[in-house]
Structure 1
Amino acid sequence: VARKKSDAVDAAVLANILRTDMAAHRSLPADSELVQAIAVLARAQQDAVWDRGQAHNRLPSQLREFYPAILEAFAQHKHGLCSREARTILAAAPTPAKAARLTGRRLQALLKQAGRVRGIQAEADRLHEVFQRDYLHQPPQVEAALGRQTTALLRQLNTACQNANELEEATAHAFAEHPDAQVIRSFPGLGSLTGARVLAEIGDDRTRFANAGALKAYAGSAPVTRASGKSCVVMSRKVKNQRLAAVGYVWAFVSLTKSSGARAHYDRRREAGDRHVAAQRNLFNRFMGMLFHCLQHGQLYDETKAFPMQPLENPATIAA
């Protein structure tokens, strides 16, 4: 094989493929301008969330080397170091020495600056007590240098948090203007942001997917069969829309607490031997089929139709 390559030959090969097998290929989706805008915003917001996660992971790793007090202070907080309170206090006191010098009134002022409105005094007292404890520490010059590095990492985290919040607001606003938003939001587990991510990846061109199976394959929720000779293996798809698969995992997980039918379906899959991820993927696969039907017919999600009552396996035993 000569392994020769040129753009002109590649273009000719692609043109010949379409010239001879045009019927075997689908045209590009004709999505509306609004959906294209939602796709730009939703993907940018998801990238910003991933960037925020990376920045958040780097900061604790840095703080473990010299600043265990701040980690202990916000260990039980819902958002950890991503919370506005933690970032505000860390900006004012990037080293343990500066944190130990913070007074109760100064901590109250910082909490108010971060937007806290309740339990300010109690929280300030708790933080003051944590910062006054004895911890292992670095030499003063090393601690000061690590504090400067922490300030730089904190700026990255603040920027990532701000970008994620602003893009989330813009994405939700654009999604609310789309006519499919009402149908998508009617599904349990889908909100403005997750719904926008779903719409961004599937689009609003009704001819894009020939049937529900095509949509499920695109999302990666449907399994794939690999058959060769006497071997036949059914496995999860690796080639898929990764963004749609990511939001599908969140969708299925949240729906477990929002829909009794979804929870029952998940439990049945677990009892059948599926692991957690496989059971959630099966639930996501079912949701994708429902979503395809609802979008095609303009119908809202109906729990009674989506998950009808399952017949008892042994009514006589139950009655006894």
Structure 2
Amino acid sequence: MPMRFWAGLDWGVYHHDLAVTDDAGNPVVQLRVTNDLHGLNAALNALREVRRNRRSIPIAIETGRGLMVAGLRQAGQTVVVLNPTRVANYRNRWSAQPKKSDRQDALLLANILRVDGHVQPVQPQPSVHAQAVQEMARAHRRTVQSATLTSQRLRSLLHSYFPAAVTAWAGYDGGITRREARVILSAAPTPTQAARLTPTKLRALLVGGGRIRLVAAQADRLHALFTTRQLRQPVELEETMGQIALTLLHQLDTHLAIGEQQLAQLQELFDRHPHAEVYRSFPGMGTVLAARMLGELGDDLSRFPDPRSLRSFCAAVPITWASGTATKISHRRKVNPVLATIGYRWAFSALTRSQGVRDLYDHRRGCGDGHAAALRRVYARLLNCLHHCLRHATVYDEDAAFPATADEG
């Protein structure tokens, strides 16, 4: 039987450490390569010197992103992505004294493949299109989070010197993030400047902010609110806070504009994917949620051989710990946070768009489940349906998903 070899790559920003071991765990190759084309060629040549058919040597690494990983995959090399937490647990297994170095970590990764490579999860192979959807969905999510954080900072600042600006749009969708609110606050970021705005000027700003209906009534309401006597900061401090508010407003405008642009690009990318029709057919599944789920799950159908594996990956089932007569069921915490958030929002949105989902939710609440637990049950059922629809290339069917509800109807 020919000798087998395993490789480990400890990645870095500027360079990577490569190690190759044989069947006995002896290091055959240990070298450092740069994070560029020259480094990729050096790594491939080192593997080729060990075995002519270098593609038969799997490489373990702790990340699936980066140019080096992309280059290895394009060269036909098998790349096995290991969870960093699991790798850290192996470190104590190989040494009584915990120690760490890039050179030893590369050797550790290779030995993990050598000893326990058969129990490592199957590596998904998503298409380039699915990876593009994932990148855009994650970028859009980060932009939305940045806009939310900036709006919260702006609201907190306004509360400290200009509370009337917060209460002016408190009962409207978006609050101070509304376009008309941002336009008016940009023109008058302090109480002094806002009190000088005439109803005519306010009407012009409201129209410039996109308001069409009840412009005069809204202008009169804002004028009365801004001219009402309130607690004030010292003049110099108020002006400084107004300048800071202007900076936050400009940041918020930028985040919102980028978010709209990324949303359009995300919709265009998602609509061109073959699985888009399947995702869109589910109740409560909008474009953003569908694109994020497609990006996180990928389009490699062999990744989840059965519905249970999909439910576990999406945090739709709890963790069971059984030992002897003791059994403990706990919440699954080490999960993809994006999928966990999608599950809650998807199940909640589906309550008003599917009678079967509503009946299942009400049934679980009647059995004693709380709101979140009942939504998790709904999420698990929807994932079962999603797994079936993707496997058979068919769209969601309410009658097939909830036959009891269909019979009663």
Tell me if both proteins adopt one fold, taking TM over 0.5 as the criterion. Answer: yes
**Structure 2 counterparts to residues 1-320 of structure 1, below 5 A:** 1-309=96-404
Residues 66, 137 of structure 1: 8 Å contact kept: yes
Residues 399, 405 of structure 2: 8 Å contact kept: no
> Which one scores higher on RCO, CA 8 angstroms, separation ≥ 6?
1
* 1:217-247 Cα shifts (integer Å, max 9, x gaps): 1111111101234321112200111111111
Residues 186, 246 of structure 2: 8 Å contact kept: yes
Q: 1:200–1:160: structure 2 CA closer, same or farther, 3 Å change rule?
A: same
Return the structure number with greater helix share.
1
Q: 1:6–1:141: structure 2 CA closer, same or farther, 3 Å change rule?
A: closer
Residues 99, 131 of structure 1: 8 Å contact kept: yes
Task: Tell me how far apart the structure 1 counterparts of residues 371 and 142 of structure 2 sit (CA, whole Å).
Answer: 26
Task: Tell me how far apart the structure 1 counterparts of residues 150 and 224 of structure 2 sit (CA, whole Å).
Answer: 28
Residues 94, 148 of structure 1: 8 Å contact kept: yes
Task: Tell me how far apart the structure 2 counterparts of residues 125 and 263 of structure 1 sit (CA, whole Å).
Answer: 44
Task: Tell me how far apart the structure 2 counterparts of residues 230 and 158 of structure 1 sit (CA, whole Å).
Answer: 59
Counterpart of 2:192 in structure 1: which amino acid?
A: A
Superposed displacement of residue 311, structure 1:
11
Task: Tell me how far apart the structure 1 counterparts of residues 306 and 123 of structure 2 sit (CA, whole Å).
Answer: 16
Counterpart of 1:242 in structure 2: which amino acid?
A: P
Superposed displacement of residue 310, structure 1:
5.3
State TM-score, norm by structure 1. Answer: 0.93
3-state SS of paired residue (1:5): coil
**Structure 2: runs of 5+ lacking an equivalent:** 1-95
- Calculate percent identity across the aligned residue pairs: 42
Counterpart of 2:211 in structure 1: which amino acid?
A: R
* 1:138-171 Cα shifts (integer Å, max 9, x gaps): 1211211111111122222222222222211111
Residues 82, 161 of structure 1: 8 Å contact kept: no
Task: Tell me how far apart the structure 2 counterparts of residues 179 and 20 of structure 1 sit (CA, whole Å).
Answer: 39
Task: Tell me how far apart the structure 2 counterparts of residues 228 and 155 of structure 1 sit (CA, whole Å).
Answer: 58
Residues 269, 279 of structure 1: 8 Å contact kept: yes
Q: Which has the larger radius of gyration?
A: 2
Counterpart of 2:144 in structure 1: which amino acid?
A: V
Task: Tell me how far apart the structure 2 counterparts of residues 193 and 311 of structure 1 sit (CA, whole Å).
Answer: 29
Task: Tell me how far apart the structure 1 counterparts of residues 191 and 101 of structure 2 sit (CA, whole Å).
Answer: 60
**Structure 1: runs of 5+ lacking an equivalent:** 313-320
State TM-score, norm by structure 2. Answer: 0.73
Superposed displacement of residue 33, structure 1:
1.0
Superposed displacement of residue 128, structure 1:
1.6
Counterpart of 1:225 in structure 2: which amino acid?
A: T
3-state SS of paired residue (2:379): helix
Superposed displacement of residue 135, structure 1:
1.3
